[in-house]
């Protein structure tokens, strides 16, 4: 009996051992972490991509997914493949599909999964939930990512990467700009604590956060800090990216000359980087086109529009190419509209709109706003003012919904122009007032941003001095406390002075308003100032002459002598034009190398005599121009028109500029270095 019992026990034990070995071997194969080399490379790419630059290497990631679509995958590979699918869908703004893949991937999480990979998985999930307006769920997902780091600090650099990503993502949450800055400051403090070797990335993201919070000066300052380190390390790709971003900042601030300088530098660095992809060059060139278009330099605008088309043709990444093709259609439509080909522009806009509806414009954050405004401008040119107002209103609503503060001013001005041409003067006046109110607010915000920048710089200097003092000699802490108290007293005194200087600040605001109507390079009134002058200065006028002036072959001058000499030539010409004007004449830089002089109570004969005087004065400057086809010195082509003042007809002003432009066109096509009055043609 005992022998039978012992035999039964041994048999049971052997069966248990066999089953255990079988189970463990199956479990080991399921939990194998030997993922394929291509999957490993794809995951490493994702871990190294900054969140602000999602969309890079998508063709490669999709090829990896395709390779494994028909293979039988173990649990490890299944997790990674679903992670890759979700990431690709997210980068293409297909957030519901991305969520589906991430839910599937979560079922295959296994204990041996590296914590930094799982942390990135939860972070990417938090990004998807932000884009789905699920902020509370996003907080939980990100907390999971952060908890993984807290339990394993070996991956501190990987954590900084996702923390910076969270900073960038929070900027797109309702009231998220402040949350973004708080996250960035938290990341900055931790990065400084562990002496993170890539502080430039922290500075750059912090700059983006301040910019999104409308603290423009602080934002650009942090980006410049990042840029200096990138240049020191000769990281050409990052230099190009940062210079481009700063250039775009200046573009939105309407500082077009500085935007062109920054973007041109970006293009120069891009040419130094043999590994830079065409999509980066396309983005720079597209922004240079926009900058030159804003200053009415049509020759350079056309050059960069054609260059953008060339770069589009050599783009290899199919997804990026489709997105850029949509944008290129919009750019070409805009250019056709400005050059008087509104019907052709409308056809291209229709194509761009269809592609936009199909999701082929995801690389451009406010593409829809630009599309609506371009539609509005084209319909304006066609005289379809109801359609123009409808599309500009769509743009206005999108701007207000997404808080794109930097696009408000121009959209209000487009609405003002459309309502004025529709002769709805009440609404025209309303939107003109809104445009001025936005501009005044921007000037006040810049004042506040400047003050914040000074206090921030002061505070940073204080912290640096404190750390140095503590490291050198702990016994000097008391001295430093006294020094810190002095600083606080200075700040308190500074704040009190600011409170007592309201009158001075108001005066400065008026001065800044004047500056907004002044060309930054030549110090003469700008195009906006001309529009206001024509509207507001009609008292005691019976006749008015308009003279449009263009420097001959000025692009060739820039190509020969460089942009610095070109700027000096523009300043010299503007100074001479100003000295040649009578007391009541109004000189403005119309754009690029074009100037306009509005002459009060000046008839045809007097305006022609004035043109001859100006050309003689410019000739006497003797500014060398060896690339000119008409002279060895800088010369001018001039077009003039004279018209009677009708106080009830605003269209006369616009018509006069068009007629003067026609006369200028005749002068340029008839040999240049001459002047023509419209009625002589």
Helical pair 75-91 and 95-106, crossing angle rounded to 10 deg: 160
As a 3-state breakdown, the chain gives helix, strand, coil percent values, each rounded to 5, of 75, 5, 20
If we measure between CA atoms, which residue out of 203, 239, 241 comes closest to residue 222? Answer: 203
Q: How far apart (Å, rounded) are the C-alpha atoms in residues 592 and 292?
A: 8
Q: Give the helix/strand (H/E) hosting 600.
A: strand 594-600
Residue 14 corresponds to which tokens in the numbers above?
Answer: 């052997």
Size of the chain in residues: 681
SS (H, E, C) 117-175: HHHHHHHHHHHHHHHCCCHHHHHHHHHHHHHHHHHCHHHHHHHHHHHHHHHHHHCCCCC
From 124, 332, 593, 594, the catalytic residue: 593
Q: How far apart (Å, rounded) are the C-alpha atoms in residues 173 and 170?
A: 5
Angle formed at CA 451 by CA 450 and CA 453, multiple of 5 degrees: 65
Q: How far apart (Å, rounded) are the C-alpha atoms in residues 252 and 220?
A: 12
If we measure between CA atoms, which residue out of 600, 624, 608 comes closest to residue 537? Answer: 600
Q: Can you list the pairs that 256-263 forms with residues at least 24 positions away whose Cβ atoms lie under 8 Å? A: 256/291, 256/294, 256/295, 257/295, 257/520, 257/521, 257/567, 259/287, 259/291, 260/288, 260/291, 260/292, 261/563, 263/287, 263/288, 263/291
Q: How far apart (Å, rounded) are the C-alpha atoms in residues 366 and 372?
A: 10
Query: Does residue 120 contact residue 145 with C-beta atoms inside 8 Å?
Result: yes
Query: Does residue 614 contact residue 537 with C-beta atoms inside 8 Å?
Result: no
Is 174 one of the catalytic residues? Answer: no
Q: How far apart (Å, rounded) are the C-alpha atoms in residues 455 and 498?
A: 12
Q: Which residues pair with 591 in a beta bridge?
A: 594
SS3 366: coil
Q: How many CA atoms lie within 13 A of 363 on its CB side?
A: 22
Q: How far apart (Å, rounded) are the C-alpha atoms in residues 487 and 505?
A: 24
Q: How far apart (Å, rounded) are the C-alpha atoms in residues 608 and 606?
A: 5
Q: Are strands 636-644 and 675-677 parallel, antiparallel or unpaired?
A: parallel
Q: How far apart (Å, rounded) are the C-alpha atoms in residues 386 and 397?
A: 16
Report the Cα 122 to chain-centroid distance in Å: 29
Cite the active site residues. 593
């Amino acid at each position: 009996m005992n022998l039978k019992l012992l035999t039964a026990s041994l048999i049971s034990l052997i069966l248990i051992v066999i089953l255990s070995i079988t189970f463990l071997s199956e479990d080991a194969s399921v939990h194998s972490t030997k993922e394929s080399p291509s999957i490993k490379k794809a995951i490493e790419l994702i871990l190294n991509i900054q969140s602000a630059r999602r969309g890079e290497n998508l063709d490669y990631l999709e090829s990896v997914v395709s390779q494994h679509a028909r293979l039988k995958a173990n649990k490890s590979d299944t997790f990674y493949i679903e992670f890759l699918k979700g990431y690709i869908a997210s980068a293409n703004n297909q957030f519901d599909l991305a969520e589906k893949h991430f839910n599937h991937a979560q079922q295959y999480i296994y204990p041996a999964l590296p914590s930094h990979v799982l942390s990135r998985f939860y972070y990417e999930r938090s990004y998807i939930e932000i884009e789905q307006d699920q902020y509370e769920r996003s907080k939980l997902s990100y907390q999971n990512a952060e908890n993984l780091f807290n339990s394993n600090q070996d991956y501190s650099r990987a954590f900084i990467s996702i923390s910076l990503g969270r900073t960038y993502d929070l900027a797109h949450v309702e009231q998220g700009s402040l949350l973004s800055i708080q996250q960035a400051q938290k990341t900055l403090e931790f990065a400084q604590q562990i002496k993170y070797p890539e502080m430039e990335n922290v500075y750059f993201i912090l700059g983006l956060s301040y910019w999104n919070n409308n603290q423009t000066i602080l934002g650009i300052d942090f980006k410049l800090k990042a840029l200096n380190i990138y240049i020191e390390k000769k990281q050409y790709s990052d230099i190009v990216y940062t210079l481009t971003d700063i250039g775009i900042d200046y573009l939105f601030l309407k500082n077009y000359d500085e935007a062109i300088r920054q973007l041109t530098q970006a293009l120069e660095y891009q040419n130094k980087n043999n590994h830079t992809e065409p999509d980066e060059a396309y983005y720079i060139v597209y922004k240079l086109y926009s900058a030159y278009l804003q200053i009415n330099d049509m020759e350079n605008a056309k050059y960069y529009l054609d260059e953008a088309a060339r770069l589009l043709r050599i783009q290899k990444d199919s997804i990026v190419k489709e997105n850029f093709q949509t944008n290129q259609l919009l750019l070409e439509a805009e250019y056709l509209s400005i050059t008087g080909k509104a019907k052709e522009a409308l056809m291209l806009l229709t194509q761009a709109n269809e592609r936009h509806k199909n999701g082929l414009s995801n690389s451009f954050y406010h593409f829809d706003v630009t599309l609506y405004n371009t539609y509005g401008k084209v319909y304006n040119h066609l005289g379809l003012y109801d359609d123009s107002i409808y599309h500009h209103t769509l743009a206005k609503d999108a701007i207000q919904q997404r808080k794109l503060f930097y696009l408000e001013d121009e959209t209000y001005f487009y609405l003002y122009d459309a309502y004025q041409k529709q002769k709805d003067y009440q609404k025209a006046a309303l939107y003109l007032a809104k445009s001025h109110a936005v501009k005044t607010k921007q000037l006040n915000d810049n004042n506040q941003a400047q003050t914040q920048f000074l206090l921030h710089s002061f505070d940073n200097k204080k912290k640096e001095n404190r750390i140095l003092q503590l490291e050198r000699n702990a016994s000097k802490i008391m001295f430093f406390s006294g020094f810190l108290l002095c600083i606080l007293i200075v700040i308190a005194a500074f704040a009190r002075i600011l409170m007592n200087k309201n009158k001075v600040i108001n005066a400065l605001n008026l001065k800044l308003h004047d500056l907004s109507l002044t060309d930054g390079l030549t110090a003469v009134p700008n195009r906006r100032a001309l529009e206001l002058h024509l509207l507001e200065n009609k008292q005691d006028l019976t006749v008015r002459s308009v003279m449009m002036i263009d420097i001959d072959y000025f692009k060739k001058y820039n190509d020969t002598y460089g942009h610095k000499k070109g700027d000096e030539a523009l300043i010299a010409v503007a100074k001479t034009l100003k000295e040649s004007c009578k007391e009541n004449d109004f000189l403005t830089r119309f754009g690029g190398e074009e100037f306009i002089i509005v002459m009060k109570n000046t008839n045809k004969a007097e305006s022609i005599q004035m043109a001859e005087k100006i050309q003689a004065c410019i000739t006497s400057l003797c500014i060398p121009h060896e690339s000119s086809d008409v002279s060895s010195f800088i010369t001018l082509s001039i077009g003039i028109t004279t018209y009677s003042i009708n106080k009830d007809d605003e269209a006369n002003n616009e018509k006069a500029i068009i007629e003067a432009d026609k006369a200028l066109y005749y002068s340029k096509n008839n040999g240049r270095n001459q002047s023509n009055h419209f009625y002589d043609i």
